[in-house]
Amino acid sequence: MDVRLTAWVEGRVQGVGFRWWVRANALELGLTGYAENLDDGRVKVVAEGPEDSCRQLLRRLEASGASESGGWLRRPGKVSAVTHRWAEAAGILPGFAER
């Protein structure tokens, strides 16, 4: 069953390649959606796909930056907090974009 993850990432996450990193990880996990800079300095991540893959992306967003087996790239910047919510997938997001 597909779900939608919306996450708001706080910290030093703008201007450091963070959205590119999110996109690379989301595509590796087979997810669609986007990562966008917000005016308040956070990055908003919206991802849709299998629940297990969305949960894995959330774990990567929340991780200390050390890579897991599987070789995903070290996360740029510094994350201080991640808040998130779950919803049913709307199925309207093609690919994964950086906004």
Q: Tens of pLDDT along 37-92?
A: 999 999 999 999 999 999 999 999 998 654 544 445 678 999 999 999 999 999 88
Tokens of 61: 């967003």
- Domain span at 77: 2-91
* Model confidence pLDDT, tens digit, residues 76-86: 999 999 999 99
Q: Of 19, 23, 42, 60, which is the active-site residue?
A: 19
Per-residue pLDDT, averaged over 16-38, amounts to: 96
pLDDT at 37: 98
* Residue 37 falls in the annotated catalytic set: yes
Find the CATH number of the domain harbouring 66: 3.30.70.100
Amino acid in the structure at residue 35: A
Distance, in Å, from the CA atom of 5 to the CA atom of 58, rounded to the nearest integer, reads 8
Per-residue pLDDT, averaged over 18-24, amounts to: 96
Amino acid in the structure at residue 56: Q
pLDDT at 64: 64
* Residue 19 falls in the annotated catalytic set: yes
**Exposure b/e, 13-24, CB count within 10 A at least 16 = b:** beeeebbebbbe
Does residue 39 form part of some domain?
Answer: yes
Domain count, the chain: 1
Does residue 96 form part of some domain?
Answer: no
Does residue 30 form part of some domain?
Answer: yes
